[in-house]
Amino acid sequence: MNYQYSPIFPLLTLALLLLSSPPCRATSHSSSSVNNFLQCIASKSALLLESVYTPSNPSFDLVLRALIRNRRFLTPQTPKPVAIVAPTRVSHVQATVVCARDTGVQIRIRSGGHDYEGLSYRSNVTFVILDMFNLRSIKVVVDKEFAYVQAGATLGELYYKIANQSNVHAFPAGVCTGLGTGGHFSGGGYGNLIRKYGLSVDNIVDALVVDVKGKILNRALMGEDLFWAIRGGGGASFGVIVAWKIKLVRVPAKVTVFNVPFTLEQGATDVAFKWQQVAPKLPDDLFIRLQPTVVNGTIVVKFIGMFLGESNRLVPLVNRSFPELNLMKSDCKEMSWLESILYWDNFPPGTPVEALLNRTQGARGYSKNKSDYIKTLIPKSGLETIWKLLIELANTTTANVIMQWNPYGGKMSEIPASSTPFPHRSGNLFLVQYIVFWDEEGQNVTDRNVDRVRYMHDRMSTFVSKEPREAFLNYRDNDIGSTASDETNFSDALVYGSKYFKDNFPRLTTVKAMVDPSNFFKNEQSIPPNIN
Ligand SMILES: Cc1cc2nc3c(=O)[nH]c(=O)nc-3n(C[C@H](O)[C@H](O)[C@H](O)COP(=O)(O)OP(=O)(O)OC[C@H]3O[C@@H](n4cnc5c(N)ncnc54)[C@H](O)[C@@H]3O)c2cc1C
Ligand SMILES: *[C@@H]1O[C@H](CO)[C@@H](O)[C@H](O)[C@H]1NC(C)=O
Ligand SMILES: *[C@@H]1O[C@H](CO)[C@@H](O)[C@H](O)[C@H]1NC(C)=O
Ligand SMILES: *[C@@H]1O[C@H](CO)[C@@H](O)[C@H](O)[C@H]1NC(C)=O
Ligand SMILES: *[C@@H]1O[C@H](CO)[C@@H](O)[C@H](O)[C@H]1NC(C)=O
Ligand SMILES: *[C@@H]1O[C@H](CO)[C@@H](O)[C@H](O)[C@H]1NC(C)=O
Ligand SMILES: *[C@@H]1O[C@H](CO)[C@@H](O)[C@H](O)[C@H]1NC(C)=O
Ligand SMILES: *[C@@H]1O[C@H](CO)[C@@H](O)[C@H](O)[C@H]1NC(C)=O
Ligand SMILES: *[C@@H]1O[C@H](CO)[C@@H](O)[C@H](O)[C@H]1NC(C)=O
Ligand SMILES: *[C@@H]1O[C@H](CO)[C@@H](O)[C@H](O)[C@H]1NC(C)=O
């Protein structure tokens, strides 16, 4: 295992000192910058040069597409990088940053490639992808209850490795097992343990980051400001996250899951109304997601549950606090925490847990999502309005329209809003995600379906947070602004900054100005240095 977790790896620093050549002058002419960049890479290390894919390399398209999940960004119109660098060691990440900075080439950092707007691999500027998929070791230290995980590891790999060492330990993070820890954790990271243990970032105790100078920093070296910023402020604005040190959490050997659907005739509206009142207040061991879907022109609301305990404790608990759900023992499935991961990620029943190690997932279709926060109960009449809206939007055979309502409360209400950049803590009943997905090709289909999700979001405005209308960074949405067109005009950044980070945005810009004043680490929705 190539873990360099000691503060600084002396040989590596020495090697960098010896290799660093005088900076090539930055130039505005992009093709010569790219050549300078590649020459710089070659001068650092022949081995690193072997990790570089340019468009003339036969593997270029394969490597590029391997981590593109959304076919919306796999069209001939999608701009491509001029090169992909996929380092196999940490010193190569440092060299890539130094070369890009010195030759004036922009980089986009990719770990799992699940960014909703593809900002880890798509840009209208000339850019190079720094692809982290080769850096994916995981080391679990069960007796000390922590683990080290590199940025290119997927959640599936992390979950598998934890469970391989202990059946009573886990980590609170996303439901989708293909996510990369590099992007997922730095954007907050949540899953069905959120009410018990909070976000991924609430359970991170150290990190290794390559800064704009090419230095490798752990928590002690980077200081508390930068360590605060990367836990929810998005990694891409501050440096390259190489690895995290995470605190494992405890789970019972058996957990219980369920998925109970209600049609309108079965009282879906009443149950959903009650859900809003109880789901954020239930014991922390219980997380119930509400998922309205449209089936054959009518509404089916699914209640998908995760309970940290056995069903003989769960059924009476629900009967007492949420009798409208009418949960029966026969609705419940008991399993290990690792098996619950497969269940929640919709693997077919009986899939072996080793499937979590399969990285070749490919693009799954087209989609566009948006998010909202709900702070006050939606009245029954409002729920009926929402059901009508969903049915209206699903009036096509080419699009699937669903929502996911994820309850907060529990640990989320206990953690102060300023403790990490993620600001959506107490006062929120639940997070809403709007999802439209489809399989049919064509720009006309895409435009129409993207309009559907925008329309749904527009029509929800009376029910959701206001001033600002908040949004979740990990559900990135370019509709709320993008700074790509004009690098000196940060008016859009003020908009998305306040939606994603609320009162934490000013501190993020201050940290940015401290650690990366020249704004080297950027993308279309990054944090700008101090704006006044
Ligand atoms: C199918 C699906 C399911 C999802 N489920 C959940 C969920 O349950 N919970 C949840 O919270 N979110 C969920 N998400 C959203 C997900 O957390 C974000 O898209 C997240 O940013 C993905 O991280 P990544 O490394 O896979 O993505 P990438 O596209 O590689 O990166 C995302 C962003 O982080 C930056 N970044 C990536 N790696 C690094 C690094 N090493 N250093 C610095 N910056 C970096 C990128 O430049 C980009 O800006 C889901 C997304 C999808 C597509
Ligand atoms: C929207 O969310 C769904 C469910 O999590 C996911 O499968 C899809 O990939 C997301 N869309 C985008 C644009 O990533
Ligand atoms: C690039 O420009 C096109 C056309 O204006 C736009 O649709 C797209 O979103 C832009 N890409 C990014 C990553 O901002
Ligand atoms: C742990 O992983 C090894 C290697 O993949 C495997 O052979 C073993 O069965 C796993 N053990 C458990 C308890 O999951
Ligand atoms: C939807 O309608 C089709 C055709 O009538 C039927 O075959 C299918 O079972 C229905 N689906 C559900 C979930 O009711
Ligand atoms: C719920 O509690 C009531 C009253 O105690 C009882 O009659 C009923 O059988 C319970 N239902 C379940 C599913 O346990
Ligand atoms: C990995 O998953 C892909 C997509 O689901 C599948 O085609 C492939 O067979 C799987 N590979 C293995 C080794 O299971
Ligand atoms: C579906 O509903 C949308 C939104 O009201 C509308 O614009 C569109 O024309 C409808 N499409 C069909 C096929 O009815
Ligand atoms: C989209 O455009 C193509 C080609 O112009 C056409 O064949 C197709 O029917 C259109 N699809 C829709 C849903 O309008
Ligand atoms: C900055 O951009 C916004 C919208 O993108 C525009 O309204 C504004 O006029 C611009 N400001 C300047 C000074 O160019």
pLDDT in tens, 305-340: 999 999 999 999 999 999 999 999 999 999 999 999
**243 closest CA partner among 89, 434, 349:** 89
What residue owns the CA closest to ligand 5's atom 5? Answer: 296
How many residues make up the chain in this entry? 532
If you measure from the C-alpha of residue 316 to the centroid of ligand 6, how many angstroms do you get, rounded to a whole number? 7
- What are the φ and ψ backbone dihedral angles of 339, each rounded to 5 degrees? -65, -30
Token representation of residue 29: 């002419």
- What is the reported pLDDT for 19? 35
For the segment 452-491, what is each residue's pLDDT rounded down to a tens digit? 999 999 999 999 999 999 999 999 999 999 986 556 778 8
For residue range 250-265, list pLDDT tens digits in order: 999 999 999 999 999 9
Among all ligands shown, which has an atom nearest to the Cα of 388?
8
Give me the sheet containing 52-53, strands edge to edge. Answer: 52-53, 83-85, 127-131, 106-110
**371 touches 432 (CB < 8 A):** yes
- Residue 400 pLDDT more than 70? yes
Instruction: State if residue 525 touches ligand 3 by the CB under 6 angstroms criterion.
Output: no
Q: Which of the ligands is closest to the CA of residue 489? A: 10
Residue for token pair 């608990």: 317
Closest approach atom of ligand 2 to CA 176: 5
Residue type, 354: E
Ligand 3: residue whose CA is nearest its atom 1 = 124
Whether the CB-CB separation of 517 and 497 falls below 8 Å is answered with: no
Q: How far apart are CA 437 and CA 369, in angstroms?
A: 8
Given a cut of 60, whether residue 20 has pLDDT beyond it is no
Question: CA-to-CA distance for 204 and 219, rounded, in angstroms?
Answer: 11
- Coil, strand, or helix at residue 218? coil
Domain 11-131: CATH architecture, name and number where available: 2-Layer Sandwich (3.30)
Is residue 68 lining ligand 2, measured as CB closer than 6 Å?
Answer: no
Q: Give the mean pLDDT of the chain.
A: 93
Q: Where in the chain is the domain with CATH 3.30.465.10?
A: 138-250
- The confidence score (pLDDT) of residue 532 equals 58
User: What pLDDT score was predicted for residue 4?
Assistant: 33
The predicted pLDDT at position 483 comes to: 82
CA distance 400 to 300: 13
> Do 222 and 238 form a contact (C-beta atoms < 8 A)?
no
3 state DSSP class of 49: helix
Where in the chain do CATH 3.30.43.10 domains reside?
Answer: 11-131
Tell me the best of 435, 446, 453, 477 to mutate to test the pocket of ligand 2, counting ligand atoms within 8 Å of each CB and taking the most.
Answer: 435
Q: What is the pLDDT of residue 23?
A: 37
CB-based contact 89:2 (threshold 8 Å): yes
Task: Give me the pLDDT at residue 30, please.
Answer: 65
Quote the pLDDT of residue 14: 31
Ligand 3 center from residue 450 Cα (angstroms)? 14
Nearest CA to ligand 8 atom 12: 395
- Ligand 5 atom nearest to 296, measured from its CA: 1
Query: How far is ligand 6, taken at its centre, from the CA of residue 113, in Å?
Result: 47
Which residue intervals of the chain bear CATH 3.40.462.20?
A: 255-335+363-463
Q: What is the DSSP string of 226-274?
A: HHHHTTTS-GGGT-EEEEEEEE-EE--S-EEEEEEEEETTTTHHHHHHH
The Cα–Cα gap between 231 and 188 comes to 6
Distance 115 CA to ligand 9 centre (A): 28
Q: Which one, of 205, 185, 303, lies nearest residue 248 by Cα?
A: 205
Which of 496, 502, 480 shows the shortest CA–CA distance to 425?
502
Quote the tokens at residue 316: 């009476």
Q: Nearest to residue 290, comparing CAs of 262, 265, 316, 323?
A: 262
The highest-level CATH class for domain 255-335+363-463 is alpha beta
The yes-or-no verdict on residue 414 having pLDDT over 70 is yes
Ligand 10 contact, 487 CB (< 6 A): no
What pLDDT, on the 0 to 100 scale, is given for residue 361?
75
Residue 144, Cα to own-chain centre: how many angstroms? 27
Which whole-number Å values give the CA distances from 178 to 74, 108, 167, 337, 442, in the listed order? 18, 19, 21, 17, 26
Which bound ligand lies closest to the C-alpha atom of 357? 7
79 lines ligand 9 (CB under 6 A): no
Give the separation between CA 126 and CA 226, rounded to whole angstroms.
Answer: 28
Q: Is 368 in the pocket of ligand 2 (CB under 6 A)?
A: yes
Ligand 1 contacts CB of residue 504 (under 6 A): no
pLDDT of 396 reads 80
State if pTM tops 0.85: yes
pLDDT of residue 32: 87
In CATH, the number for domain 138-250 is 3.30.465.10
